[in-house]
Amino acid sequence: MQIEHVAIWVNDLERMKEFYEKYFNCQSNSKYHNRIKKFESYFLTFKTGARLEIMRKVGVDQKNNSEQLGWAHIAISLGSMDAVNQMTARLKEDGYHIVSNPRVTGDGYFESVIEDPEGNMIELTI
């Protein structure tokens, strides 16, 4: 068994698609649009085959805060400490919020934590 994909509700579908394509080299499918349900989505595929579905639907409201029950973050492996350092610096330079700079955590991971354009947490790891 394996996880086929994970999905996230977003407000700005195109901006989020561009973010994951630009920084994480995701490939997108064509936009799916269900006019009756007022639902739109993209599947973004990483080079490893992992997929992230970004979805928007009329009536789905913004989240209240970043600490709530449910999924907390996604972790994206960049392959090396240098890659984590470089991507963190690039995102900071481009104006994205850096939650925590690259470091070794108490449980032994080397990571930084950033927010995507809508405030969702992403761990950048080796």
The residue type at 64 = N
Asked whether this chain's domains 1-60 and 72-126 adopt the same fold, the reply is yes
Q: Is 114 left (phi over 0), alpha (psi -120 to 50) or beta?
A: beta
Per-residue pLDDT, 42: 98
Q: Tens digit of pLDDT for each residue in 58-68?
A: 988 766 665 66
**82 torsion bin: left (phi>0), alpha (psi -120 to 50), beta (else):** alpha
Condensed to tens digits (0 to 9), the pLDDT of residues 32-58 reads 999 999 999 999 999 999 999 999 999
Contact 88, 123 (CB under 8 A): no
Element (H, E) at 8: strand 6-9
CATH of 1-60, one of 3.40.1000.10, 3.10.180.10, 3.40.605.10, 1.10.3720.10: 3.10.180.10
Q: What pLDDT was estimated at residue 69?
A: 61
- Would you state the pLDDT for residue 68? 63
Task: Say yes or no: domain 72-126 is CATH 3.40.630.30.
Answer: no
Domain locations along the chain: 1-60, 72-126
pLDDT in tens, 71-124: 789 999 999 999 999 999 999 999 999 999 999 999 999 999 999 999 999 999
